[in-house]
A and B are shown apart, each in its own frame.
Chain A
Amino acid sequence: MKPHSDTAVPGARLDIVPLLVVPAVALAAVAFIPSLPTWVTLTVAGLAMGMMIFIMASGLTLVFGLMDVMNFAHGAFISVGAFVAASVLVPMKSSMQEPSALANLSAIAPAILAAMMVAGLLGWFFERVVIRPVYGDHLKQILVTMGGLIVAEQMIHVIWGPDVIPLPRPAFFSGAITFGEVAVERYRLLAVAVGIAVFAAMFLVLNRTRLGLLIRAGVENPEMVESLGYRIRRLFVGVFVAGSGLAGLGGVMWAMYQESVQSNMGMQMMVLIFIVIIIGGLGSVGGCFVGALLVGLVANYAGYLAPKLALGSNILLMVLILLWRPRGLYPIGKA
């Protein structure tokens, strides 16, 4: 028997209004930025920054949605990922300095793989040892994960030393491509491409696979997922490890963007990451994506127009969005 497709009830349609806010913000900025090439440069920079924040934040929003865990130690996975990548990339300096994209990628790929694996393993350890005893208690979660972040930072000092490690960008992805008067940094285009690839992969997994169906259901109502016979704890751990691995990837991208690695880089990013996942709607990957792009754009426009307001601009953005949609751009209907 074939189900009907005609329906009086709205189907699974995408709410495009929050999505339109991104181009709306970008277009609104044209009015304040006198030069078009500057606007293009700032917009690409904002999108690249947004993509990198998305990569770092996407795992955390899923962890919060699925496990109801406030994990401030997520920043540790970002820092550790960056340091592991630096350890791989420093000995491969010659490949990084060659002008060939293939040679650069042959160094970057193992560095990213190592960073994601170590960050994922650290995530697994963290879930078992630090977070598992405090499930369901937000206050304790904040305390132990903040403590975990501090311990992880100190461990980085012990292993890699307290100094900032320079991490030059790969030669092929250094410099800019110019279109007339518009100059766009190559690395930013790479960041946009990686961000889109991560979003597309997460979108496909969440919307086209049974695992994704389970994760979406688990974010809404983990108890009912268990009642259907699925071991949600295993799903929790899997998502936590994957989210930690993505944080590691984000750390590598961000470190190459900043051209240096330092132990507190993860902690510094946590403010922006929390703003992004709150704006997006806790637990929503799509919301996290849109929120990250908005934060990236606003930070860059504000940094150009009113540098002193740069960080405050994102808090203002969060306030405005929460006034409009109190549960974020794409709220998850939690049970």
Chain B
Amino acid sequence: MLALSGVNTHINLYHILQGVDLVVPRGELTMLLGRNGAGKTTTLRTIMGLWRASAGRIDLGGADIAGMATPSVAQLGVAYVPENMSIFAGLTVRENLLLAARERSFDESRLARIFKLFPAMQKFWNSLAGNLSGGQKQMLAISRAIVEPRRLLLIDEPTKGLAPAIIANMIEAFRELKLETTILLVEQNFNVARELGDSVAVMDSGRVVHSGRMADLARDEALQTRLLGLSLDSHQ
């Protein structure tokens, strides 16, 4: 579905991505892990065209999208949920979703599914998005990404700062979503990654230093410690 080969990204004077090689298999949820500053967010933003890759190829379903403008990448069916959610605070929940519905109207069945996954969206339909709680804002950001069918979802740290009950809700939602689309998900919470991930890539210093099956990494505590500087016990 998505393959990055030798992707480099410079931001001003800084060389952030230094030859990223990453494969996201179709229909799977791929976890992108790594310490702070490893280049995970930059990888998502580079795929989305928000930062321009200075070298390398980003292959989406056979087409090289490196260098494409962000709207063109989005029109190919890629949705992006940034770390800060970037909901439009001055618009209502309905208006936020309407903007993402490029067919200019809602697909009722998809809307019903969103309401089933996130009942708060239905409850606060006409409320200003800026007045929602942090968890509800995250639900809105994800709802906005799935209000239309997408080929690929790029999601950056969706559980950051959320209460455990809401994280559980998110995990359930992602389990459902991965049945219909391909997801590349950046996550710091290893338990969430272990619960959801089919495949995994670990980044360090602007490169992918490990890729494989998530289940294998979840079993190998020594590898976790080496790659992520953690042991699963500390996250139980």
Contact = CB atoms under 8 A, between A and B. Distances in A.
Interface in A217-265: 217, 220-221, 223-232
A9 B135 CA distance: 14
Contact of B88 (A4, A217, A226): A217
B74 A228 contact: yes
A332 B88 CA distance: 10
B88 A10 contact: no
B108 interface: yes
Interface string A1-23: 10111110111100000000000
Contact of A12 (B80, B108, B112, B128): B128
Contact of B70 (A220, A221, A227, A335): A227
A9 B134 CA distance: 13
B127 interface: yes
B132 A9 contact: yes
A226 B128 contact: no
Nearest to B132: A9
Nearest to B81: A227
Contact of B86 (A7, A216, A223): A223
B235 interface: no
Contacts of B127: 7, 9-12
A10 B111 CA distance: 22
Size category of the A interface is 20 to 34
Interface string B90-134: 111011001110101000100110010000011111111011100
Nearest to A228: B100
Contact of B99 (A5, A228, A231): A228
Contacts of B108: 1
A1 B90 contact: no
Chain A residues touching B, majority SS? loop
Contacts of B125: 3-5, 7
Contacts of A217: 88, 91, 95, 99
Contacts of A214: 99
B82 A224 contact: yes
B78 to A, nearest CB: 9
A29 to B, nearest CB: 33
Interface in A194-228: 210, 213-214, 216-217, 220-221, 223-228
A5 B126 contact: yes
Contacts of A230: 71
Contacts of A180: none
A1 B88 contact: no
Given A226-B70, A335-B84, A10 B122 contact: no
B130 A333 contact: yes
A227 B50 contact: yes
A220 B90 contact: yes
Given A3-B125, A4-B122, A223-B86, A229 B92 contact: no
B139 interface: no
A64 to B, nearest CB: 16
B179 interface: no
Contacts of B70: 223, 226-227
A225 B91 CA distance: 13
Contacts of B94: 3
B75 interface: yes
B1 interface: no
A221 B50 contact: no
Contacts of A333: 89-90, 130
A47 to B, nearest CB: 27
Contacts of B98: 210, 213
Contacts of B142: none
A230 B130 CA distance: 22
B48 interface: yes
Contacts of A229: 71, 74-75, 102
A226 B74 contact: yes
A4 B123 contact: yes
B104 A3 contact: no
Query: Considering the complex of A and B, which 6 residue pairs feature the smallest CB-CB distances, nearest first?
Result: A3-B125, A229-B74, A9-B127, A224-B86, A333-B89, A226-B70
Given A1-B111, A220-B89, 4 more contacts: A1-B115, A12-B127, A216-B91, A231-B69
Interface of A: 1, 3-7, 9-12, 210, 213-214, 216-217, 220-221, 223-232, 332-333, 335
8 contacts: A1-B108, A9-B131, A220-B88, A224-B86, A225-B99, A226-B74, A227-B70, A229-B74
